[in-house]
Amino acid sequence: MSSTSPDRLRVVIATPLTDEHCALLARLEPRLDIVCDQGLLPPMRFPGDHSGDPAFSRSFNDQTRFEALIDGADALYGIPDIDPAALRRAVRANPGLRWVHTMAAGGGAQVKAAGLTPDELARVAFSTSAGPHSGTLAEFALFAVLAGAKSLPRLQAQKSARVWSERWTMRQVSQMTVLVVGLGNIGRTTARLFAAMGARVIGVNRTVRPVDGVSEVVGVDRLADVVGQADAIVSTLPGTDRTRHLLSEEVFAQVKPGVIFANVGRGDVVDQAALIEALRDGRVGFAGLDVVAVEPLPADDPLWDLDNVLISPHTAALNDDEDRLIAELFAANATRLLDGKELINRMDTVDFY
Q: How many CB atoms lie within 10 A of CB 338?
A: 16
20 in catalytic set:
no
Q: How many CB atoms lie within 10 A of CB 348?
A: 11
CB 16 within 8 A of CB 43: yes
Q: What angle do CA 134, 136, 140 make, to 5 degrees?
A: 110
Q: Which of 24, 84, 9, 8 is nearest to 326 (CA)?
A: 24
50 in catalytic set:
no
Q: Kindly tell me the sign of the dihedral angle through the C-alpha atoms of 202, 265, 145, 134.
A: positive
Cα separation, 29 vs 348, whole angstroms: 25
First vs last C-alpha separation in the chain: 30
Cα separation, 238 vs 221, whole angstroms: 17
Which letter does DSSP use for residue 43 in this model? Answer: P
The catalytic position among 123, 314, 324, 336 is: 314
133 in catalytic set:
no
Cα separation, 74 vs 71, whole angstroms: 9
CB 284 within 8 A of CB 259: yes
E-assigned strands of the chain?
A: 9-13, 32-35, 75-77, 99-101, 125-127, 177-181, 200-205, 216-219, 232-235, 259-263, 284-289, 309-311
260 strand-pairing partners: 232, 286
Indicate the burial class of 206 (C-beta count within 10 angstroms; 0-12, 13-18, 19 or more). Answer: middle
Q: How many CA atoms lie within 13 A of 218 on its CB side?
A: 14
Q: C-alpha 229: how far from its chain's center?
A: 26
Q: How many CA atoms lie within 13 A of 220 on its CB side?
A: 15
Please identify every residue annotated as catalytic. Answer: 266, 295, 314
